[in-house]
Amino acid sequence: MIKTDVVIIGAGPVGLFAVHQLGIKGLKSEVIDNLDKAGGQCIELYPDKPIYDIAGIPKCTGEELTKNLLKQIKPFKTNFHFNERVQEIKNEDDKWIVKTNKNKVFTSPNIIIAGGVGSFEPRKLYVKDNEKYEGKNIFYSVNDKNKFNGKKISIFGGGDSALDWALELSKIAKVTLIHRREQFRGAPHTLNELKKNGKVDIKTKYQISSIQGDDNIKSIIIKSDEGKEIKIETDYILSFFGLIMKLGPITEWGLNMDKKTIKVNTQNFETNKKGIFAIGDICSYPGKLKLILSGFHEGALAARGCFKYAKPDEKL
């Protein structure tokens, strides 16, 4: 069990700045996010889009803002728990017990929910037996590319992730790239690069039809719109069909919900549960603006609220 002053759910821009506001008050936080990296919407939805409304920064991209926020909190040596969704919370002896879907357990007097529009989750590959092979032969992101060295990989998708990984993994593995449309959505220069190097077998207007294997995948069958079938020997499937946002378990924690947001007070952004705060896009109050700068303000005040419960005998 990990003991801390504050558990932060969500490593979007608002969760990251909350780490700073807690850190300068001497409070330790642990940050959990379902994604494999920090940045929330800034990094997943618009890494290259310019942002013009952060005080003191005339212009930066979503990716640059994330990098700067991470640099700003570096002194606090915060632990990040990526690829984990907070599933369950319960109160025991005036402390919150927080459990993730990977069974990691935290205990803390405070929880800050900075969950934005919900946890980002990969759109699943719909084919019989996918669950049997997920996490073993079917992946929705790449943590360690060395696993694929010398293997046969079928990559599904038409966006940047599919194109980038097809190009990268073709250096160490036999790659087939399968897309259900003729046109790819990803960057044209990556597609040109793929076609030029000729190492990746590209199949367009095909979709997965079935998987063959026992303990591990041996091959897959893909089917064209016209009904033509091709068998491809495959050790691993990488599926990049984009992300969906799910509010998920947050709705089951007994919080005062208003549609897909959590109602808070505007004094310290505490919810109807003592020691649970909500900031950023996920909170609602009269006049709420879904902007990063509003989330920073909310984080500053929530951090003061957390101090009261984490260090009840000390003065801020």
Which residues would be at the binding site for ligand FAD (CB under 6 A)? 9-15, 32-35, 40-42, 45-46, 49, 51, 53, 85-86, 114-120, 248-250, 280-281, 290-293, 295
Residue with Cβ nearer ligand FAD (13 or 174): 13
Residue 77: CB minimum distance to ligand FAD, A: 21
Question: For ligand FAD, which residue has the nearest CB?
Answer: 116
Nearer of residues 95 and 297 to ligand FAD, judged by Cβ? 297
Kindly tell me which of 40 and 186 has the beta carbon lying closer to ligand FAD. 40
Nearest residue (CB) to ligand FAD, 79 versus 216? 79
Minimum distance from residue 239 beta carbon to ligand FAD (Å) = 18
Which amino acid is it at 10?
A: G
Pick from 242, 253, 292: which is nearest to 9 by CA?
A: 253
| Distance, CA of 86 to chain centre | 12
CB of 274 to ligand FAD, least distance (A): 20
213 vs 248 by CB, closer to ligand FAD: 248
Nearest distance in Å: CB 111, ligand FAD? 11
The distance of closest approach from Cβ of residue 102 to ligand FAD in the complex, given in angstroms and rounded to an integer, is: 11
